[in-house]
Amino acid sequence: MQHTVHSRLAVIGLSALLLFGICAGPPAVAEGAPSRPAARANSQWLVTQLKSDGTLENPLGGALPDHGLMIDVLYAMYASGAGDLAAPIASYLELHATDYYTWDGLVPGQGFDQIIVGGATAKILVAAEVAGRDPRNFGGHDMVAETQGTIKRAGPDKGRVSDYAKNPDMADFVSNNANMFGQALGVIGLAGAGVNDQFAIDTMLTQQCSEGYFRIFFGYVPTTETGDHVTPNGYKVSTCDEGKAFDQSSPDGDSTGFALSALLAARRAGAQGLDEPIGRAVAWLTANQTADGGWGGGVGTEVANTNSTGLIVQALADAGGAQAAVDCGVAFLQSAQATTAADATTSLADHIGAIAYNPESYRAAQTGGITGIDTWIRASAQASLGLSQVGFYDLTQGNLPEDDPPPGDNPPPGPGGTTPPPQAGPTPQVSKKAGQPAPPKKKSNTQTVRPATTTSAPADDTPPGRLGAYLAGTLVDGDHVEVTEDDTTYVDYDATADLVLALRTLDEQPDAVDRASRFLLNPDSVKAYAHGVPYETKPAAYAQPLAKLLVIAEFLRADGDAPEDIDETVDMLRRDLAKLGKDGRFVDTGEFGDADDSTARLAWATLGTIAGSGEADRSIDTLVAHQCDDGTFPVSLDKVDCETGDVTATAAVVEALNGRRQVTQPTTGVHDARGIDDPRSAAPNNVVPKSWSDSRAAALVRTAAALNDATDTDGLVLDKRGTPDLPASAAVAAGRQAAGLDSSGTARSMAALLLDDGGFAAKDDEDSDLATSIAAAPGIAGRSWLSAELAPVTAAVRLPLASEHKNTDKNADTGGVARLGSHEVTPWKAAAFLSLLAAIAIGFGARYFFNRHRTNKGESST
């Protein structure tokens, strides 16, 4: 998190206010009273979202239901006094437990029931207890024993609720990704069963920082200590305080609230010595409540939201002694809940009781309706716990208050149902989710999160406008892409960066571009995306993310309304990228860096270098040296003397080969006009720059000709089945246009494949897919981002090239290609150049007149 003088003063002022029980807006319920009618109304809405068998369909697809969310709903229903509504969920879980807490559901019948997911195991244990089922015989499984089995008894992970393999032969398949949520659930579940596990409690306490908060992720740090707690390569699991030096210990409201609930449960079950850590957690939470009464989560969800606030209010109410903070938290929760009084005539009339992720989303839905039901379900389930104010230990014991009378007209509206608070100023506010880590290694079950409400501006009824609106509508908080993996939500920085560049290419949704760019350039985001925080245990840097960030930063700087520190950001990114370059290649540092030697990665590093300094001759020479016989480029630079390559990689190389630094960029600060051959004009022409080698010019011509050959008469690249490959088609369109060739045929053809919601479907799918839609943007636009307004890198030349280029170095090594200044017939003029002219004169002319307009065959997103 970025700390400034202003933010520190705000925290001090807020803490002072909270000492006197002041929050924005009056509490919506009587002081000190739970709002069970509001919670019951929420349960009545949640039950309408369940299928008849008690499942919740994953809106992102997949054969398995969303077990984790189903359990959250079960907790909420029982806490509200409506446990009978959750009976179908409990019954389904009892029959299908191993689908969730083992890998068997993902890979049925292959022995993967021997791989145990620690957090999921503990979550099912708590669900069985809350539902009043026998936790030692839940669907034939002893969930108490299973949870105890996840707790390591020795070694570096001693006391940690862990993912592991019962079958030693499968041990190498498992990485221990268990976090504080799983740890807290394990402590709660075992406390509920009356078998406190001191190892688990002690290990959880090591993850509390001296300030009182708990971090969410366990982290390894180098150590000179010896013992079985040290890994063979000299690392140990750090304490929260030890992890600070390694950027591993960011404050986290969610994990602190959940850990507080776990400590309270353990204390209720007889654990000793917990008063002091409980007190410190309560103090930290009350000191970090926002002015409107809510709480944010951790690295990635710091903005006040109902999910985090619900968990924290539940824990503080259970702890006692913080009633003013609890009352303000309840008011915040109710300000985001649909009520009869406020919504009988709004778009939420059919969703009374539902709770939005934040009050802003609630107010937007009053007129625009719910556009992301999954987020509302998730928010409702956890927010409800704060309304009910039943602690987890009481839930596991069935100690529930007597039911309140029916809610009648439902709870009175909070601030969200009356006068909206003042609107933010014109400067875009970056989501405080900046810095949330992405999965260190993406898995096949990673799914994209659709935001509860969309923030896209109204779209023009054009293909670029519709696609732009779809892309902007996938941004959570209006500024980033999120993915879920194993019930944990992460920021997908790479998808966010690609989406920003896609919108730049489309020239659509400028507000979304600005917000997402600022999010990516937030220092915490840069650390997470380009330096591997919090996973890397040593300093690390990744070339491709640095290059993309540098391009995005230069775009933003040229907008004229960039952050004040944009010059410093650009300079830092430029220097960090330059440090990775050596002998024409770029080598990532760190354990999680990109170890492959892909052509596209080097092309991106080259473009980033051009954007930053304008000088990338050595990496361009490396690219040119790997061109295949047919003019394409291989996927990997490990491949030499290739006959043919990959069209997508080839398209990326065209942009790098023909890129030059834009001279219209500002020249203040660290930015200057180095590397520009002709500062008088940024418009590309057909004269080869003086600084180019003959081999670079020849490679560009051959590459463009190869891309032209890759498409059919509609301008599309077809796969082996004869089906359009949309990402490849769009990449080729970008590459062709970057070389000065027409890509309008591709744009027309791809426009016919656009789905009703403005997105594109992935191969063999019918629904819009974010990754495919991002990749398709250059195809719909018919251009590369090099041609976007204010692009920091632009095309240097337009094909076909003039033969008048003067290269006076008669001794230059041209690699078998005669000098461009010569009038003699050279291989590239006789072959590639002539074939390129033929393609321009015949190929795309024919495509224009004989274009087969494809129809949308009903392909109808995350």
Beta bridge partners of 138: 141
- Residue 677's pLDDT is 39
For β-strands 115-116 and 447-448, DSSP reports them as unpaired
How would you write 517-551 as a 3-class SS string?
A: HHHHHCHHHHHHHHHCCCCCCCCCECHHHHHHHHH
Amino acid identity of residue 777, one-letter, is A
* Same domain, yes or no: 211 and 317: yes
Instruction: Please write the tens of the pLDDT for every residue from 758-813.
Output: 999 998 888 999 999 999 999 999 899 998 989 999 999 887 776 544 333 333 33
Single residue among 771, 794, 817 that ends a domain in this structure: 794
Single residue among 345, 371, 400 that ends a domain in this structure: 400
| Greater pLDDT, 215 or 560 | 215
How many beta carbons lie within 10 A of that of residue 625, not counting itself? Answer: 13
**Distance between CA 44 and CA 38 in Å, rounded?**
10
Cβ partners under 8 Å of residue 683, min gap 6: none
The tokens describing 123, both together, are: 């979550």
Answer whether residue 830 is part of any domain: no
| pLDDT interval class at 63 (50, 70, 90) | confident
* Same domain, yes or no: 637 and 546: yes
Summarize the confidence of residues 724-741 as an average pLDDT.
93
* Same domain, yes or no: 311 and 253: yes
Q: What is the DSSP letter of 854?
A: P
| Full residue range of the structural domain in which residue 395 is found | 5-400
- Residue 763's pLDDT is 87
Domain containing residue 386: CATH number: 1.50.10.20
Compute CA 609 distance to the chain's CA centroid, rounded to the nearest angstrom.
25
Compute CA 696 distance to the chain's CA centroid, rounded to the nearest angstrom.
37
* Same domain, yes or no: 190 and 327: yes
Rounded to 10 degrees, the C-alpha dihedral 655/660/665/668 comes to 130
**Distance between CA 748 and CA 851 in Å, rounded?**
9
How would you write 766-782 as a 3-class SS string?
A: CCECHHHHHHHHHHHHC
248-257, 612-621, 811-820, range with greatest mean pLDDT: 248-257
Instruction: Please write the tens of the pLDDT for every residue from 249-300.
Output: 999 999 999 999 999 999 999 999 999 999 999 999 999 999 999 999 977 6
**Distance between CA 772 and CA 18 in Å, rounded?**
47
Long-range contacts of 364-371 (CB under 8 A, 24+ apart): 364/453, 365/338, 365/452, 365/453, 366/342, 368/453, 370/452, 370/453, 371/451, 371/452, 371/453, 371/454, 371/473
Tell me: pLDDT of 226 over 90: yes
Answer whether residue 266 is part of any domain: yes
| Greater pLDDT, 309 or 819 | 309
**Distance between CA 657 and CA 738 in Å, rounded?**
10
* Same domain, yes or no: 356 and 464: no
Rounded to 10 degrees, the C-alpha dihedral 372/373/375/378 comes to 180
| Closest to 802 (Cα-Cα) out of 839, 838, 837 | 837
* Same domain, yes or no: 487 and 391: no
**Distance between CA 822 and CA 830 in Å, rounded?**
13
Q: In total, how many domains does the chain have?
A: 2
Domain containing residue 472: CATH number: 1.50.10
Tell me: pLDDT of 553 over 80: yes
Cβ pair 607, 659 in contact under 8 A: yes
- Mean pLDDT value across the chain: 83
455-464, 521-530, 811-820, range with greatest mean pLDDT: 521-530
Answer whether residue 156 is part of any domain: yes
Answer whether residue 360 is part of any domain: yes
| pLDDT interval class at 398 (50, 70, 90) | very high
Q: What are phi and psi of 454, to 5 degrees?
A: -95, 150
Lowest mean per-residue pLDDT among 35-39, 203-207, 614-618, 779-783: 614-618
The tokens describing 265, both together, are: 């449960």
* Same domain, yes or no: 332 and 248: yes
Tell me: pLDDT of 682 over 90: no
| pLDDT interval class at 402 (50, 70, 90) | low
Identify each DSSP E strand in 78-218 by its residue range. Answer: 115-116, 164-165
Summarize the confidence of residues 473-488 as an average pLDDT.
90
Tell me: pLDDT of 487 over 90: no
For the chain, the 3-state helix, strand and coil shares in percent, each to the nearest 5, are 45, 5, 50
* Same domain, yes or no: 29 and 169: yes
Find where tokens 């920091």 sit.
792
Answer whether residue 640 is part of any domain: yes
How many beta carbons lie within 10 A of that of residue 268, not counting itself? Answer: 20
- Residue 171's pLDDT is 84
* Same domain, yes or no: 376 and 470: no
Instruction: Please write the tens of the pLDDT for every residue from 363-387.
Output: 999 999 998 899 999 999 999 999 9
Cβ pair 180, 162 in contact under 8 A: no
Answer whether residue 312 is part of any domain: yes
Sequence-ordered alpha helix ranges (H) in 80-142: 87-95, 97-101, 118-130
- Residue 301's pLDDT is 79
**Distance between CA 781 and CA 761 in Å, rounded?**
17
- Residue 296's pLDDT is 94
Tell me: pLDDT of 835 over 70: no
Answer whether residue 845 is part of any domain: no
Cβ partners under 8 Å of residue 449, min gap 6: 60, 374, 375, 476, 481, 482, 483, 484, 489, 862
Instruction: Please write the tens of the pLDDT for every residue from 702-723.
Output: 999 999 889 998 889 999 999 9
Determine the number of helices (DSSP H) and then strands (DSSP E) in the chain. 34, 11
Amino acid identity of residue 730, one-letter, is A
Cβ pair 426, 517 in contact under 8 A: no
Tell me: pLDDT of 850 over 80: no
* Same domain, yes or no: 495 and 372: no
Single residue among 773, 794, 815 that ends a domain in this structure: 794
Instruction: Please write the tens of the pLDDT for every residue from 633-667.
Output: 999 998 778 999 999 999 999 999 999 998 644 33
* Same domain, yes or no: 490 and 550: yes
Q: What are phi and psi of 220, to 5 degrees?
A: -100, 140
* Same domain, yes or no: 471 and 343: no
Answer whether residue 853 is part of any domain: no
Residue 27's alpha-carbon distances to 40, 60, 365, in angstroms, are: 19, 37, 23
Instruction: Please write the tens of the pLDDT for every residue from 573-600.
Output: 999 999 999 999 999 999 988 888 899 9
Instruction: Please write the tens of the pLDDT for every residue from 145-171.
Output: 999 999 999 999 999 999 999 888 888
- Residue 52's pLDDT is 92
Summarize the confidence of residues 716-741 as an average pLDDT.
93
Q: What is the DSSP letter of 498?
A: H
- Residue 639's pLDDT is 77
